[in-house]
Amino acid sequence: MPSKMLDKLVEKLIKSEEKRQREGLELIPSENYVSEDVLTANGSVFTNKYSEGYPGRRYYGGQENTDAIERLAIERACKLFNCKFANVQPHSGAPANLAVYAALLEPGDTVLGMDLSHGGHLTHGHPMTLPAKIYNFVRYKMKDPETGEIDYEDLRRVAIEKKPKIILAGFSAYSRTLDYKKFVEIAREVGAITMADMAHIAGLIAAGALRNPFDDGFDIITSTTHKTLRGPRGGLILTRENEEIAKKIDKTVFPGIQGGPHMHTIAGKAVAFGEALTPKFKKYAVQVLKNAKAMEEVLRKNNIRMIGGGTDNHLILADVFGSLGVTGKEAQTVFDEVGITLNMNMIADDPRKPMDPSGIRFGTPAITTRGFKEKECKRVAELMISVLKNKDDKKLKESVHKEIKALAKKFPIPKKFV
Ligand SMILES: Cc1ncc(COP(=O)(O)O)c(C=O)c1O
């Protein structure tokens, strides 16, 4: 924290959170650490400014700096993802997805997305969400959870039958590679727009470590900016080349569903995109994947069932209940005790309930930012398994906690990324 605060209550909580992050290991695959530059931009005086509209077309005066920062963020986003249009104003991933639906669909129109229990996200049509109340979401699944391959034949069959306006590729708990070309082929056959929600893997795509859906002809990418992209909490909508679509999206973000953009967050996004354009970020992304593979290897050796059979990206979804008889909730709690943060997660066709599912989801973006390589990741995976196998052994848990703390101390959270 840069300077002393007058509000001692809030200062104390910030310090306590800093300590938690410093001393524990973050394995939640949607979390990461931002650089000091991103923090500075995100906490800057841009938070004081109203800038409804877009650069050059605002409804308030005093926009010389906001216009410049938003233009910079847009230019860097387009360069990173190799596309023509970017909207950097969505407050987060959920509003970004809502904006695309609202821009391109009429109420009742159909979206074909990944089944939520097979890795899709809540914003892809969970019954409790607003989009699900307005639009009709239909599903595709994995052919076999043991390999993770999507059932493309079924996807095509459903697309032909249901005639979706949008075919959506994207996930928050899926560890394999999608065949974007197949999505585009099927979408063209039925006249649908292709949308990829790359919230989890955007940083890995930006760095060229994973394939860019735009290279296979996708029309739209939505994303968060705070996961592998290592920026401030926020959303992003990219359009490959279709200006008509990009204009509809801009109008829907503002004034359709949002008011004034959060210019301090956009400043933070501009910094993060700049960092992601560097060779150092490319190395980071490659290491994220290597580290996940290293953890996969340890799990496989220990006969822990992984949904999809392993990982091609930054995350692993492990069936701890099926493998060890430990529920996802029990696992999450016991890992909290030893200084490892991850999350319980439903697995494909989970017989258990969401608040105590069969699985845990974890990943390598944050520990890789700390500088972990394969050796450390393997050790963490070994420690995780020993804790799961001996979850009531107090002594063992104490010794694991000690080792986790020592690892965290050896690999402090860096402040500068370039
Ligand atoms: C694939 C996907 N889309 C959208 C979101 C929603 O993002 P946010 O929580 O920033 O609204 C998430 C968040 O985890 C996600 O994983």
Q: Which single residue is written with the structure tokens 């005066």?
A: 61
Distance (Å, whole) CA 168 – CA 139: 10
**Could you tell me if residue 228 is inside a domain?**
yes
pLDDT band (50, 70, 90) for residue 328: very high
CATH number for position 392: 3.90.1150.10
Is residue 12 assigned to a domain?
Answer: no
Looking at the structure of the chain, the number of domains it has is 2
**Which whole number is the average pLDDT over 237-247?**
98
Q: Is 204 annotated as a binding residue?
A: no
Residue 94 C-alpha to ligand 1 middle, in angstroms?
6
Looking at the fold, whether 327 and 190 belong to one and the same domain comes out as no
257 and 291 in a single domain? The answer is no
Please indicate whether residue 94, judged by its CB atom, sits closer than 6 Å to ligand 1.
yes
Final residue of a structural domain among 276, 295, 326 = 276
Asked whether the beta carbons of 220 and 239 are under 8 A apart, the reply is yes
Helix extents (H) in 325-393: 328-337, 365-369, 374-389
Report residue 3's pLDDT band, with 50, 70 and 90 as the boundaries. confident
Atom of ligand 1 nearest to the CA of 30: 14
Mean pLDDT along residues 48-61: 97
Shared domain for 61 and 176, answered yes or no, is: yes
Q: Quote the ligand 1 centre to 199 CA distance (angstroms).
A: 6
| Mean pLDDT along residues 12-26 | 97
Residue 1 has pLDDT above 70, yes or no: no
Average pLDDT, the chain: 97
Same domain, 95 and 216: yes
- pLDDT digits over 402-415, tens only? 999 999 999 999 99
Mean pLDDT (whole number) for 98-123:
96
- Are 220 and 318 members of one domain? no
Answer yes or no: is 11 within a domain. no
224 is catalytic: yes
Annotated binding residue at 126?
no
300, 250: one domain: no
Q: Say how many C-beta atoms besides its own lie within 10 A of residue 185's C-beta.
A: 14
Torsion of CA 54, 58, 62, 65, to 10 degrees: 10
Please indicate, yes or no, if residue 328 is contained in any of the structural domains. yes
Q: Whose CA is nearest to atom 4 of ligand 1?
A: 93
Residue 2, pLDDT > 90, answer no
Q: Do 104 and 247 share a domain, yes or no?
A: yes
Q: Is 172 in the pocket of ligand 1 (CB under 6 A)?
A: yes
Please give the average per-residue pLDDT across 331-335, as a whole number: 98
Q: Helix or strand or coil: residue 84?
A: coil
Q: Tell me, yes or no, if the pTM score tops 0.75.
A: yes
In this predicted structure, the answer to whether residue 36 has a pLDDT above a threshold of 90 is: yes
The residue whose CA has the least distance to atom 2 of ligand 1 is: 199
CA 249 to chain CA mean position, Å: 21
Q: pLDDT tens digits for 164-212? A: 999 999 999 999 999 999 999 999 999 999 999 999 999 999 999 999 9
| Centre of ligand 1 from the C-alpha of residue 407, in Å | 29
Nearest CA to ligand 1 atom 8: 93
Which of 276, 308, 332 terminates a domain? The answer is 276
Query: Is 153 marked as binding a ligand?
Result: no
Residue 122 in marked binding region: yes
332 within ligand 1 shell (Cβ under 6 A)? no
Q: What residues contact 236, with CB distance under 8 A and at least 6 apart?
A: 77, 86, 87, 88, 90, 96, 202, 221, 222, 223, 224, 225, 269
**What is the structure's pLDDT at 42?**
98
Looking at the structure, tell me whether residues 252 and 354 fall in a common domain. no
**pLDDT at residue 348 tops 90:** yes
Whether 25 is covered by a domain: the verdict is no
129-157 pLDDT, tens digit each: 999 999 999 999 999 999 999 999 999 99
pLDDT surpassing 70 at residue 215: yes
- The last residue of a domain, from among 259, 276, 293: 276
CA distance 135 to 174: 24
Q: Is residue 416 part of a domain?
A: no
Please report the DSSP string for 92-127 in residue order: SHHHHHHHHHHHH--TT-EEEEE-GGGT--GGGT-T
Q: Is 228 in the pocket of ligand 1 (CB under 6 A)?
A: no
Helix or strand holding residue 158 (H, E): helix 152-162
pLDDT confidence bin for 260, thresholds 50/70/90? very high
State if residue 93 touches ligand 1 by the CB under 6 angstroms criterion: yes
Give the range of the structural domain holding residue 331, as residue numbers without chain letter.
Answer: 284-410
**Residue 418: which pLDDT band, with cuts at 50, 70 and 90?**
confident
